[in-house]
Amino acid sequence: MSSRTLPQELIRAKRDGGALSPEAIGELVGGISDGSLSDAQVGALAMAVYLNGMSAAETVALTEAVRDSGEVLAWSDLDLPGPVLDKHSTGGVGDLVSLVLGPWIAACGGHVPMVSGRGLGHTGGTLDKLEAIPGYDIAPTRERFRSLVKEAGVAIVGQTAELAPADRRLYAIRDVTATVESLPLIVSSILGKKLACGLDALVMDVKTGSGAFMPTHEASFELASTIAEVASRAGTPTTALLTDMSQPLAPCAGNAVEVREAIRLLTGEVRDGRLLEVTRGLAAELLLAGRLAENRSAAQALLDGRLASGAAAERFARMVTGLGGPADLLERHDRYLPQAPIVRPVNAERLGRVTQMDTRAVGLAVVELGGGRRAPQDAIDHVVGLTGIAALGEAVDGERPLAWVHARSEADAERAATRLLAAIEVNVAAAGDVRLPTLIHDVIRREAP
């Protein structure tokens, strides 16, 4: 901490509604990283920001300071033949985009050093899903990570202690001081980690709807716009897509079941659906930002060709093998991915069509089964979850249930079924009477200055 300014004076300035200079923000973030700011001071700073907000310039400075609080990855020494690209999602239910998009972009000539997280609340976590694969190492050595990004084009791993350490401490204190829901703190937390990966371009998937972190369109749009603006001003061209989360993105939710769905999509067993459409839209934006395609039509044609040829599936297989997983996972996934002892349908209480869904409650049903965490230290049960989740507008009857529950016990399955029946509304309606949500609401593009 600089001897020129006492931290409490900087905190006082923010508390009283003042704007902090980039130098002052750098001093504070440095104190968070090296421990010279006490937990009480960090909490007071977080509350001051929560109550008074930050200007765009302050948010950019905070993001850059968090990014620079630890190692910032550099790739120039590897002579990569393509751009370094990545994607981040604000989280949802049945959102397994990362498992498909990373290998797909790699097959198109990009390099994806994807640092992912675990599940939070009702939303699933990419790392939890990948740990359903036997042997998959989410914490490889730095050398292994870098070589895999070059050789396979993609490596999906967990955050290391060296990347954005200020964020780890700041987030932990925000979590216990009721200051999580602050736009500048959210944006700097997301982008501090992502931009530390040395990206040439980033695409953000910001969810809106009943299963989103910010369920209203207005709040989600503000988050998407702020992320795109701040990241680009911090030097990384960023596109944010506002996508629908008023129902699960994939027809499944859980850990092993979502890995299976990713494999089905990559190998061509699944050829349509909301998951494919959103992933294709995000991937096309990354190809354009990384100058791997001249226009949208060319980007989509390149993506479709690489998926149909099996090149994207091959990149996924190389990543899995390179991180310790089985070499024949694609061909024999039912042998390797764990399966629940109880699989039973959940039938609707009346015939009709699905007209509305509380997607957050659907995600919480998976948490209650053991597929998510009630507390950070909880272990994840990879086998449990939901499959065959009926979509909005879809007819359900005695032959077509609302979903299938994968559980450890009949009692667990019954509790999940009760939660699902309360979360999914079924009414007598014609197909045209059910208003289906737009899948991609907005696209916000920002170039670096």
- 3-state class of 404 per DSSP? strand
Cα distance between the two ends of the chain: 30
Cα 288 from Cα 311, distance rounded (Å)? 19
pLDDT of residue 125: 85
Q: Exactly one of 98, 126, 239, 243 is catalytic; which is it?
A: 126
Annotation marks residue 122 as catalytic: no
Q: Which of 63, 98, 123, 189 is catalytic?
A: 189
**Residue 3 pLDDT:** 54
Q: Which pair of structure tokens corresponds to residue 355? A: 């007209």
Intervals of the chain under pLDDT 50? 1-2
**Annotated catalytic residue within 14, 67, 122, 174:** 174
Inter-CA distances, 360 with 74, 223, 276, 364, 384, Å: 38, 19, 21, 6, 17
Position 180 scores a pLDDT of 82
Residue 194 a catalytic site member: yes
By C-alpha distance, which of 138, 159, 149 is closest to 83? 149
- Look at residue 199 in the predicted model and tell me its pLDDT: 97
pLDDT digit string (tens) for 417-430?
999 999 999 999 88
Among 59, 69, 89, 279, the one annotated catalytic: 89
**Rounded CA separation 172/158 (Å):** 17
- Residue 398 confidence (pLDDT): 85
| 166 closest CA partner among 49, 60, 25, 24 | 25
Looking at 246-381, list the stretches that DSSP marks H as alpha helix, in order from N- to C-terminal side: 256-266, 274-289, 296-308, 311-322, 333-336, 359-366
| 207 is a catalytic site residue | no
Q: For residues 121 and 139, what is the distance between their CA atoms, to the nearest angstrom?
A: 23
Question: For this structure, is 189 an active site residue?
Answer: yes
CATH topology for 76-162+170-332+440-446 is Pyrimidine Nucleoside Phosphorylase; Chain A, domain 2 (3.40.1030)
Q: Is 333 annotated in the active site?
A: no
What pLDDT, on a 0 to 100 scale, did the predictor assign at position 375? 65
14 catalytic per annotation: no
Distance CA 321, CA 327 (A): 5
Assigned token pair, 222: 């503000």
Nearest to 166 by CA among 141, 129, 191: 191
CA distances from 114 to 134, 145, 239, 376, 437 (A): 20, 10, 16, 22, 29
Fold of 338-433: Aldehyde Oxidoreductase; domain 3 (3.90.1170)
Q: 67, 111, 146, 194: which one is catalytic?
A: 194
Strand pairing report for 154-158 and 403-407: unpaired
* Domain range summary for the chain, segments of one domain joined by +: 7-53, 76-162+170-332+440-446, 338-433
Structure tokens at 448: 């670096």
Strand partners, 155: 113
Given the residues 68, 86, 128, 381, select the one marked as catalytic.
86
Tokens of 28: 């504070």
For this structure, is 86 an active site residue?
yes
Which residue among the candidates 14, 67, 88, 168 is catalytic per the annotation?
88
- The pTM for the full model equals 0.92
The fold of the 7-53 domain, in CATH, is 1.20.970
